């Protein structure tokens, strides 16, 4: 990001695979300068030289290819021309690589029930295990007094019931312990009421949180309304978590679609393979029959 925002990146050249002794992965040359010519300012040149190579006479570890002098000269010429060449050279503005990573929140909706399986979740919490055994016992006794068949779909209502139960039993619990209890006794429920904070604002559900990369050239709100809101109408953007970043998906820019082979051609190949297998099986079968016949006649 720092390199692109300061306009230091002049070009990236994609090299062939198997170019280095200890790795066969694709590699790239980054050309960085603080002295761009006027025509290159604010722009980045991508050169696809992945197929510029000749086979080595003898491999050196993973190094099986090298770039000839003529190919080096051609790459240098492409760089110097600074022009778009189909499937070979593309020129972009710096901003084309930028994006804003937005956080999509959805409301927290939970139902609450004092079921045995949910109580087990509460008992497995580390903070519960650290409590004195006497306090553990008293908390579980209070929970046992609540109706296990009753399903609550409003968090504030359930918290009120818990508070009354512990107050009536004269069992003191902290706010953190109360939160652990009602969180352990809850699960996601689309039909439940939205959980809100003290200001009446919807609380986000961490499990439903999602992220989107919005191009810098696009307006965040317009993108959200067009691409996201139709699928999550109750979602919203948490602007405080928005971050800027840059990525250069080199292969995506130079991807060339290759249509699949015609079905007739694939079918003919399958028939040919099947016929070969049948011939092999028949040959083996005939050989077995002859061998068995010879043994019996002998």
Structural domain spans, the chain:
2-97, 110-188
Q: Where are the beta strands (DSSP E) in the chain?
A: 9-14, 28-32, 43-48, 54-60, 63-66, 89-93, 98-105, 110-112, 186-188, 210-215, 236-237, 243-246
Whole-angstrom distance, CA of residue 253 vs CA of residue 249:
7
Q: Can you give the pLDDT at residue 285? A: 74
Q: What is the rounded CA–CA span in Å between residue 136 and residue 113?
A: 19
* Binned average pLDDT, 10 residues per bin, the chain of 298 residues: 96 93 88 96 97 90 91 96 95 97 97 96 95 95 94 97 96 95 96 95 96 96 96 96 95 87 88 88 73 63
pLDDT at position 298:
58
What are the CA-CA distances from residue 185 to residues 116, 123, 223, 281 (Å)? 9, 11, 37, 64
Secondary structure element (H or E) that encloses residue 167, with its range: helix 155-168
């Amino acid at each position: 990001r720092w390199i692109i925002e300061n306009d230091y990146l002049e070009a990236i050249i994609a090299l062939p695979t198997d170019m280095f002794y200890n790795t066969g992965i694709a590699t790239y040359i980054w050309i960085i300068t603080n002295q761009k010519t006027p025509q290159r300012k604010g722009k980045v040149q991508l050169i696809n030289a992945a197929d510029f190579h000749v086979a080595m006479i003898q491999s050196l570890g993973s190094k099986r290819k090298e770039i000839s002098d003529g190919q080096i000269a051609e790459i240098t010429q492409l760089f110097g021309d600074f022009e778009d060449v189909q499937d070979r050279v593309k020129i972009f503005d710096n901003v084309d690589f930028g994006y804003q990573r937005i956080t999509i929140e959805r409301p927290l909706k939970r139902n609450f029930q004092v079921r045995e399986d949910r109580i087990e979740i509460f008992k497995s919490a580390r903070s519960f295990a650290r409590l004195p055994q006497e306090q553990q016992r008293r908390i579980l006794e209070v929970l046992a007094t609540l109706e296990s068949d009753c399903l609550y779909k409003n968090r504030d209502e359930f918290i009120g019931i818990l508070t009354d139960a512990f107050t009536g039993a004269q069992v003191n619990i902290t706010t953190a312990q109360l939160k652990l209890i009602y969180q352990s006794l809850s699960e996601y429920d689309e039909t439940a009421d939205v959980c809100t904070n003290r200001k009446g604002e919807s609380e986000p559900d961490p499990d439903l949180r999602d992220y989107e990369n919005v191009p810098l050239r696009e307006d965040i709100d317009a993108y959200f309304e067009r691409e996201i809101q139709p699928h999550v109408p109750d979602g919203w953007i948490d602007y405080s978590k928005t971050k800027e970043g840059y990525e250069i998906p080199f292969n995506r820019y130079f991807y060339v679609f290759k249509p699949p082979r015609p079905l007739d051609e694939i079918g003919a190949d399958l028939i040919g393979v099947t016929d070969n297998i049948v011939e092999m099986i028949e040959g083996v079968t005939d050989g077995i029959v002859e061998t068995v016949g010879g043994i019996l006649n002998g």
